[in-house]
Structure 1
Amino acid sequence: MKSYPYPFLNPPSFKWNKGVDIIEPKVHEWIQTIEYNEEVDWKKVDAAIVGIPLSRSSISASAASENPDAIRRAWKFFYPYNIDYDIDLTSLNIVDIGDVKQHVTNISICHQNIMAAMEMMRKTHPNVLPLAVGGDHSITAMLVKGWKNVHAHEEVGILQFDTHFDLRDLRSDGPSNGTPIRNLIESKVIKGENVYNIGLHGFFNAKSLKSYATEVGVNYVTLKQARAYGIEQTVQRALDELNKKVDTIYVTVDMDVLDMGIAPGAPASSPGGMRTDELFEAVCRAGKAKKVKAMDIVCLDPTKDFADATVKAGVHVMLSFLTGFKQRNDER
């Protein structure tokens, strides 16, 4: 009996009732699922969506664990066609492989399972792009560690869209949603100089974290600076610099990078954050980069959302990234 993706992972908790002979599918009719004992030709799959329903490691109370299913339920509102670019995504073969198993009380076991899931994905289908839907930001450290465990000789860089550095001290905050980047740096999985953070703003980072970022060489661009230079140009410059230094670029999108008026479902969103159009263009540009090989979307709590505004923004982020990914594939 095969063990991957099931029972190694949990299948999606629900599946859409898909119609037949649909000429113009919506996203929920386009993204595929896998039957329990189905054999999959992974060579024909472009990207695998994996849910990571973990929020126990959040510094503040969060139900980000509910986000993977909230994102899935919102697919019905979208078509896989981007009118801004006149790009139809349906030629991409996207599979929802379900959720990483989580322990009821033990965060360490949850994190081990997340690492193991990335390891299994890289071993089973190394040419399929992992697209993780969290969950809180602690999952990023575990996913990157899992990647590095399989690709030990690769240099990995991080392109981070975030209001925060996420460089809090592990001695006081542990492997939480406030420490993933520091966790990766101090465990020597990545180098500080290979981290590019775009979106910092306002009064939401302690000065000591800026000092630590400078000390370890983290590259950061405040939102004010990025807007002055141009969001897309700022992202492209980060990608160009990373391209010279690393083998793999991992993109992590913390939804609290958005303004709190736009993203009420991101618990740590704040005044003065990004607009959705800026984030959509940023991740589209990232998706086009050849060395971008994995992505996650984190820190979205659907129980705090209003009219699904943040959840829908999260789906839009995913589809915008896939728009860039489609452009990349078309240029091969």
Structure 2
Amino acid sequence: MSTYPYPMLERPFVEFRKAEGKPFRNVSEWIQTLPPSGEYRFENYDAVILGIPLSRSSISASAASEAPNALRSAWKYFSTYHIEADVELNGMGILDIGDVKQSITDIAASYKAIREVMYAMRMNHPHTLPICLGGDHSVTARLVQGWKKAHPEQTIGLLQFDTHFDLRSLDEGPTNGTPMRLLIEEGIVKGEHIHTLGVHGFFNSQALKHYADQSGVTYKTMTQMRKYGISRTVKESLDALSEDVDIIYVTVDMDVLDVAFAPGAPAATPGGMRTDELFEAVFLAGQASKAASMDIVCLDPRLDVREATIKAGVHVMLCFLSGYWDRKQKEMSID
């Protein structure tokens, strides 16, 4: 572990520093980076941000590898105060440790690096909440593999916001359409411990639905979610998972949003979520007592229009963190 975090990781492309003696004014002044001195005090941080710049395994042509830095560049637009929830994030210590090093040509080597970085994170600072910025959706399987390697005794549940099941056959190799199937078939996550919210329209085959049914995957369509209520649906999934698993990993594929709200998600389609619905959902997910990690994937800055999808991605991250911090503040007040 002596190579962690550097040179195991690439340092962030920009280093943020909070000016001493002045209040935080935006997220870029709140999120910190590690000093070049090598004196790393992870105990001062509650959450850690990791970039995963991989998109070569995407079924759709994608520059999702550019998303981590695009998201970082947009932090300056946001304050640390969530007015609807009345949550101030200033008190949370948060650290950007940079990006997983990726091979130019060897996807298998890139996957191994992702898996090993998550393992190293859990070994070096297991108290922190990992926020992972992809990258295409194939990275989720590798991150969960790394978590399981670090915590083999834990039962993992997945709350997935997605237009697609991501249960495609592995016969053609791992892609951003296969992460849930890979985790099921490797025995890392049971099918009944996967809840997929947001599927809709004509973007999943009947064969994939049958596989989901046979594997025990719980899924809700957008029509079902809206009739039942977004909050109620999400809470029901969180409650069901919490009864059966030790930790909940939350994965947000940005193509769950309607294409009108996410032009920068390569596989976004008509009929998806509105941004306000997704923000509400991830805030609730962050509040769940067993929510332990989250990722944001499948966002292509080169397709985006006026940074609409990038800003939505940052908002998703901040809503999840707001839910998490609200929960932690309440837990501390009880103690």
TM range (shorter): over 0.9
Once the two structures are superposed, the pairs formed by residues 110-259 of structure 1 within 5 Å of their partners are 110-172=110-172, 174-259=173-258
Secondary structure of the structure 2 residue equivalent to 1:268: coil
Per the alignment, in what secondary structure is the counterpart of residue 91 of structure 1?
Answer: coil
Residue 41 of structure 1 and its aligned partner are, at CA, apart by: 2.1
Residue identity (%)? 56
Structure 1 residue 74, shift from structure 2 partner: 0.1
Quick one: distance in 2 between partners of 1:229 and 1:330?
30
- When normalised by structure 1's length, the TM-score is 0.98
Q: Quote how far apart the aligned CAs of 1:281 are.
A: 0.5
Deviations 1:241-287 (A, max 9, x none): 00110001000000000000110000000001000000000000000
CA contact (8 A) 1:2 1:37 kept: no
User: Counterpart of 1:79?
Assistant: 79
**Partner of 1:202: helix, strand, or coil?**
coil
How far did residue 22 of structure 1 move?
Answer: 2.7
Summarize deviations over 1:195-240 as a string: whole Å, max 9, x none: 0000001010011000000011000000110111111110000000
Question: Could you report, residue by residue, the CA deviation over 1:266-320 in whole angstroms, capped at 9, with x for unpaired residues?
Answer: 0000001000000000000000111110100000000000000000000000000
CA spacing shift, 1:68–1:210, aligned 2, 3 Å = same
| CA positional deviation for 1:36 | 2.9
CA contact (8 A) 2:15 2:32 kept: no
Q: Please give the alpha-carbon distance, in whole angstroms, between the structure 2 residues aligned to 1:36 and 1:109.
A: 27
Please report how far the alpha carbon of residue 20 of structure 1 lies from its aligned counterpart in structure 2 after TM superposition.
4.4
Other structure's SS at 2:296 match: strand
What letter corresponds to residue 310 of structure 1 in structure 2? Answer: T
Give the Cα separation in 1 of the matches to 2:194 and 2:17: 42
Match of 2:297 in 1: 298
Aligned to 2:33: 33
Return the alpha-carbon distance in structure 2 between the equivalents of residues 63 and 199 of structure 1: 23
- Other-structure match for 1:69: 69
Aligned-partner residue type, residue 301 of structure 1 = D
Q: Secondary structure at the match of 2:249?
A: strand
How far the C-alpha of 1:26 sits from its partner, in A, is 0.5
2:105 corresponds in structure 1 to: 105
TM-score, normalising length: structure 2: 0.97
CA RMSD in angstroms, aligned pairs only: 1.2
Contact 2:18 2:32 (C-alpha < 8 Å) held by counterparts = no
Secondary structure, in 3 states, of the residue corresponding to 1:159? strand
Alignment check: 8 A CA contact 1:6 1:36 kept: no
Aligned to 2:271, what secondary structure does the other structure show?
coil
Residue of structure 2 equivalent to 1:330: 329
Contact 2:252 2:295 in 1 (8 A): yes
Amino acid at match of 1:37: S
State the aligned residue count: 331
Q: Displacement, 1:19?
A: 4.1
